[in-house]
Amino acid sequence: MAKRQFKRRQAVIEALAVIMKRAEPTPFAAEGPARAGVRARLCLAGWPWADADAEAAEITRNALARAGARRPTWAEGQLEYTKENEGPRTREQCKRCAKPLPEGHYTFCGPVCATAAKVDRNRQRDREELRIAEAASRAAWTARQPEQQCPACERAFRPKHPTGSTYCSRACYQDARRLAGRSLRMVCESVRADPGD
């Protein structure tokens, strides 16, 4: 039982590490949504919230380590940080529309660009967080599913969707459909070729 749970846990960590490697701008952008997705699945599986949160935090921490993420120092996290022994960068163009900045403006040319940039950033963040939370939740769900055998290639696999997959991949499904069509044609041709009936 413990070995099976360990394998499931490792599968979730691997799936999250792949998600975190693709996250933009850094793997840490996926940390919160991944933790929330895993915690939600554990709570749905009957875990108490505190235990689910602790386990989700541990899984997320391990996934970040496997993704090769390194937390920046405090100085690296500051807005003015560029490189050691260099001063802060000064912006000459609007961050959103690239027009020259008016006197006294440091990031955006006016309130319209500032508001639009904030709305764009929030929409992008919400979309990304939702995608990551869904992927983490799907990885946790997949790890809990029993292994099945693919009828086409006879490999063991776990279904990735609640609809119940019969085949391990789309390629196996398409191969099986193609073969089913051929056998049907062969039956039809043999019936047509038999003049005895």
pLDDT in tens, 28-63: 989 999 999 999 989 988 999 999 999 999 999 999
Helix (H, G, I), strand (E, B) or coil at 149: strand
User: What is the DSSP pairing of strand 148-149 with strand 156-157?
Assistant: antiparallel
Task: Give the list of residues 6+ apart from residue 56 with CB closer than 8 angstroms, or none.
Answer: 35, 36, 38, 39, 42
Residue 34: name the closest of 128, 121, 122 by CA. Answer: 128
pLDDT in tens, 162-179: 777 788 888 888 888 888
E strands along the chain, which residues? 148-149, 156-157
pLDDT in tens, 86-134: 655 677 888 888 888 898 888 899 999 999 999 999 999 999 899 888 8
Q: Say what the pTM is.
A: 0.49
